[in-house]
Structure 1
Amino acid sequence: MKNEIISKIMEFISTSEFNKLPNTEIKIYDSPLIGFADVNNNLFENYQQKIGPFHMTPQEWFTAEFENSSLSDGTVICWILPFSETILKSNYLEKELPSKEWAQGRFYGEQFNDILRQFAVSLITKMGYRTIAPSLSSHWKRIYSDHIGHASTWSERHAAYAAGLGTFSLTDALITEYGMAMRVGSVITELVLAPSPIPYKGVYDNCLHYNSNRCGACIHRCPAGAISLKGHNKDLCFAYTREKVMPAVNDVYGVTTPSCGLCQTKVPCERSIPKLPKTKVSVTP
């Protein structure tokens, strides 16, 4: 059953006309990565403790969505949608604002991600198993916490980490086998599937900065000054994309969502997990 789900999701992504920028043949996403996490993985409770009580566990999503139904066993199915080479390279020369292709890829790409979520929910529900997409639920909300800053009631990135798809970076983005220039999606289902193996030991294993002190390319790429050796300042990033980027590009590009992506492009981890150097070298950005 797992192979059937993987096959149908991959086929949907490769054939859907929604996986293109409007009125073009430019593909938004390449072939995905797909991973599976047990709903009882302790990470989900750890997330709630570290992020905040508002961050719901898979069991709490089922209780909220299906009128107090319980979820004793099940699976969180996650996917990584890497941006196509055309969209990624379009952002290379940009220094302050995103390229048209990137901004539209972010806007229409997330619309397609929602369509994919609906497809996955329908697919598994028809197999006889209740399934929900947290990001499409009325219970999904943005939260601002004094403890952690901008957050939400469900984190796609954290779910993907639990499913073995990648580790975090200096920018807070997930570095996956297909890099960090991507979007993430997930569904929660009562269908029990074998969890994916976890190919890492720590939350920052795929980031050159944390493992070699050699990188910091994303620091130089950030026009907002939101990335430093201390990490990612969510408030500065949030303000820049809303106050600088959106007024400058949204009407011109025909989009309504914030975008930037400079820190995800023209960096060593844009398309893969960067190889660690043989010796550690300290570099001050």
Structure 2
Amino acid sequence: MSISFLTPSHSLHLSNLRPDAHYTQNQRPMSILRRINHRNISLSAALRQDTTIWTQSPITTIQQAADSLFHIKINVSDSPDLISTHTRPGQYLQFRLPDTDKPSFLAIASPPLITSSIGVFEFLVKSVPGSTAQLVCQLKEGDFVELSHVMGKGFDIDKIQPAEHFPTVLIFATGSGVSPIRSLIESGFGADKRSDVRLYYGARNLQRMAYQDKFNDWESTGVKIVPVLSQPDDRWKGEQGYVQHAFARVLQRFNPLSTGAVLCGQRQMTEEVTSLLLANGVSEEKILKNF
């Protein structure tokens, strides 16, 4: 990509205007401003051109994880510079198809250890009609995609360490927002050393809830899974409604001074849960988000 800058010969100065030119009182300043603005806009557009470095990598696995959700693995073993940028759970990157200009932002589902040890990125991708993500979900194993370097600070777990000082950690996720939560849980943050670690995971129904095959493994690390369904069938006996409503029913069950929280998912959920936490004494610094 090249960026063209204006050279002095292309610059516009009032001294360059011909003294014998005939302008009306209104034409002279407006004409000058139009020309100046046109050149400034052109320069700004050039500076805003995409400078992202893209790495082509093949899909090794693509499977349906739930209704409208797909589990995708990307082989990045030939890209050590890309691998080195994944250092924390909760980070994300840009994801696009070759020869297209419309990327999607995707949270990384796999923990950094997997990335560094076997050179694989894993994603939980929601197929949204008309989006790049939908096109990606229609690809096959062996097809190539393009990845940017990893972005974001991720979850700053140091803020709720050591484990004995924060025995309660409340985790909230909805839909594909459970993707970076998986990275967090499987990276390990001392859940087995804490007395109360809960994941409130919201979905419309069980068919839209990904990673159910991992729930037992997660619970074995000390994380209690609390599924919350907004549109369950008659057989469902667990929590119903939205995540924030399920949490509001148990507010009295934790000590805010020794509590941390991690949130990822639908905006209304994160805003309402954050408000509940703050209103009940949890420090804003201890409410972790991945942006």
**TM-score (normalizing by structure 2):** 0.22
Q: Which has the higher contact order (CA 8 A, sep 6+)?
A: 1
Higher strand share: 2
Instruction: Give the TM-score, by structure 1 length.
Output: 0.22
Q: Which has the larger radius of gyration?
A: 2
